[in-house]
Every structure is written in structure tokens, then in C-alpha cells.
Amino acid sequence: AQKITQTQPGMFVQEKEAVTLDCTYDTSDPSYGLFWYKQPSSGEMIFLIYQGSYDQQNATEGRYSLNFQKARKSANLVISASQLGDSAMYFCAMREGRERNTPLVFGKGTRLSVIA
Amino acid sequence: GAVVSQHPSWVICKSGTSVKIECRSLDFQATTMFWYRQFPKQSLMLMATSNEGSKATYEQGVEKDKFLINHASLTLSTLTVTSAHPEDSSFYICSARESGRLGYEQYFGPGTRLTVT
């Protein structure tokens, strides 16, 4: 079974509008972390935001916020006031457990295109 | 934030030759490093977990004799693609976590684009 599911292969958003990128996850471990990364065409992985499974509040980082719904096992990324530079691939990822040698597992990604 | 470098950033090699990719943590020590492979328009797939001073742990379906990983120090892990074939052409990305430090951060290298002709 897939650990991370991103159901939107591609999304379009008008510049200055907000957009939500969906992510659902599957784990039986009570301790886990959820990540969002941006990957522009250059290929580098840019960390955007993190949510721990025990965090009470939804994470926010500037224009990025994470809509964490634990019971639904969803961790949607919300980008407010979209900019042309936000056009990129976006990956949701999860790390299960507390061990330091546990890797991140990635979803298939969503390609976001911001339109002027 | 912490920096992870990769060398080379891109490489073209002939079929049958071997290619070595280096991954370095520049300002921190990393007991564990991870190697991912990304085919065009696809996600990052974990190939192996590299542990300093011990053998790497490979994911199912990844040939350990073809993708040799050596993690000889706390700041360097290498991936050698042996007897490369065109189907090995891909984007290889390494990642690392800082040893002995609490926190969730995982740092990624800029990636190495391998083309096998």
C-alpha cells in the first residue's frame, strides 16, 4: 500500500490566488513527521514545511501552511498569494518513527503551474 | 541551514563503464545518508540507506552489486554505478541528517544527473 498519496498530478492557479495541494498518508506508527518539498526544474529539493504527529497546531511558514487533519490522515499544503516562482513540482513526504536512520518516503508529486 | 554537496552535478558516460557520485555534508556530521533515484516526471525513490562504517541497507529491487555504496566517514558517502547501462540514466539525489542533533531536518544535495550512452 502506498504510504503517501498525492491525487493531483497537476494543478493550475491564478497569480495571487491561494491553492491547496492534497496529501494523504498511511501509517500505524503514532510517531511520524510530514514534510512538503518544492522541486523546481533545476532539481534541487527545497524544504517548505514540517508537521509532527504530536503537534497540536497546524504548521505555518510564511505563505505556506499545512492543513493537518490527523483523523483523516491528511496533510494538505496551502500556498497563499501564489507567485509565478511557485511553479514547480511539490512533493509530500513522511518519516515514520523516531529512529535517525529512517528515510523519508515521498508521494508522486503535484505539478503546480501559476498563471499570470 | 546545513549544506549537502554532490559531485559531479552531471555526468555522461558510455555503456559498460562505472561512475562514482560523491555526497558530502559540508558543515555537519552525518551518521546516516540516503540515496534516492528520480526518473523524469516521477517521484524520488529510495535506493539505499548508507550508514557510516557499516554496510548499506538496500531497498527491495535495488541491486547492491550494481549500486555500490561506501560511507567511509561522517561527511562522505559515495555511490558507484557499476557497468552502467542506458536504463541507469537518472537523477540521483543524496540526503542526510545531522548526527546527534534533535530535530526533524533532513538535508538534500543538489542531485547528479547521469546519462549513459
CB contact under 8 A, B43 and A107: yes
Q: How confident is the model at residue B72 (pLDDT cuts 50, 70, 90)?
A: confident
Q: How close B67 comes to chain A (CA, Å)?
A: 18
pLDDT at B104 over 90: no
- Once rounded to an integer, what is the mean pLDDT over residues B6-11? 97
Q: How confident is the model at residue B14 (pLDDT cuts 50, 70, 90)?
A: very high
- Once rounded to an integer, what is the mean pLDDT over residues B94-106? 81
Q: Are A90 and A38 in contact (CB under 8 A)?
A: yes
Q: Out of B42, B46, B110, name the one closest to residue A43 (CB).
A: B110
Q: How close B6 comes to chain A (CA, Å)?
A: 11
> Chain B window 73-92: which residues touch A at a Cβ cutoff of 8 Å?
91
Q: What's the pLDDT score for residue B2? A: 80
Chosen from A101, A105, A111 to mutate, greatest number of chain B CBs within 10 A? A101
- Once rounded to an integer, what is the mean pLDDT over residues B72-92? 95
Interchain contact A103–B (C-beta under 8 A): yes
CB contact under 8 A, B97 and A52: no
Q: What's the pLDDT score for residue A64? A: 98
Q: What's the pLDDT score for residue B52? A: 87
B29: number of Cβ within 10 Å: 14
Q: pLDDT tens-digit profile of A7-30?
A: 999 999 999 999 999 999 999 999
- Write out the H or E segment, with its range, that includes residue B32: strand B32-38
Q: Which of these, A47, A56, A58, lies nearest to A92 by C-alpha position? A: A47
Q: Are A2 and A53 in contact (CB under 8 A)?
A: no
Interchain contact A108–B (C-beta under 8 A): yes
Q: How confident is the model at residue B91 (pLDDT cuts 50, 70, 90)?
A: very high
Q: How close A90 comes to chain B (CA, Å)?
A: 10
Q: What's the pLDDT score for residue B53? A: 84
Q: What is the grid cell recorded at B110?
A: 543538489
Which residues of chain A fall below pLDDT 50?
none
Q: Are A95 and B104 in contact (CB under 8 A)?
A: yes
Q: What's the pLDDT score for residue B87? A: 96
Q: What's the pLDDT score for residue A75? A: 98
Mean pLDDT of chain B: 93
Q: How confident is the model at residue B101 (pLDDT cuts 50, 70, 90)?
A: low
pLDDT at B102 over 80: no
In sequence order, what are the residues at sequence separation of 6 or more whose Cβ sits closer than 8 angstroms to the Cβ of residue A43?
Answer: B38, B91, B93, B110, B111, B113
